[in-house]
Homo-oligomer: A and B are copies of this chain.
Amino acid sequence: MKEVKVLTKILKANDMIAAENRALLDSQGVCCINIMSSPGAGKTTLLEKTAQLLSGSISLGAVEGDVATSLDGERLSEAGIPTVQVNTGGGCHLDAGMIKNALQDLELDKTDLLFIENVGNLICPSSFDLGEHLRAVMLSVPEGHDKPLKYPGMFISCNILILSKIDLVDKCNFDVSVGRENARKVNPRLMIFELSSLEGKGMQEWIEFLRKLAKEKKAQKRLVG
């Protein structure tokens, strides 16, 4: 019982900071998406391509979470996205306190969309509210269409499912309709995108979605502010 109490306490403290983060983002009209996935599903590559396609129209920002190295943060910076790298030093997820610190180093008044690229892990990050507005889970085709059933907690916690590396569908035993069905079984409300960052398939729909999000957030800010 003792461990459960401690964990509950930590999560409550996290949720309070997450609420502060969300209020700060709202006050600046920033829409924030927390992207989670297994290692190597293609989060960084999607953000690089997104930056390329939205260049000049919508201002992006990123918080890059990793166990170690600044490799991905450097890639995002090179892609033109103002990025704060957060290293967890072995930790398996980002928490709201890490995001609170990172937000201080971003120019939020100049940011439309903020991406949080979480640590590559299909389990632990789902338990931590970071103050984001939307949560996306990315599932890459080589991982297999059974993953929503095997890791339900992550898929239940998200609003968006991004099926990535869709160009590899013929090379892997991945049935897209079964993958969609498995995902909807654990979370019927999931909005689903199918895309290949490298070959471009499905990117237009993703980009249109982001444009709409940024526009809505700005309108909301005008109404509130």
Contact = CB atoms under 8 A, between A and B. Distances in A.
Interface string A143-177: 11011011111000000000001011001100000
A143 B39 CA distance: 6
A67 B165 contact: no
Contacts of A168: 142, 168, 171-172
Contacts of A28: none
B40 A152 contact: no
Interface in A62-91: 66-69, 71-72, 90
Contacts of A50: none
Contacts of A149: 68-69, 71
Nearest to A142: B142
A143 B141 CA distance: 11
A4 interface: no
Contacts of A119: 123
Contacts of A72: 150
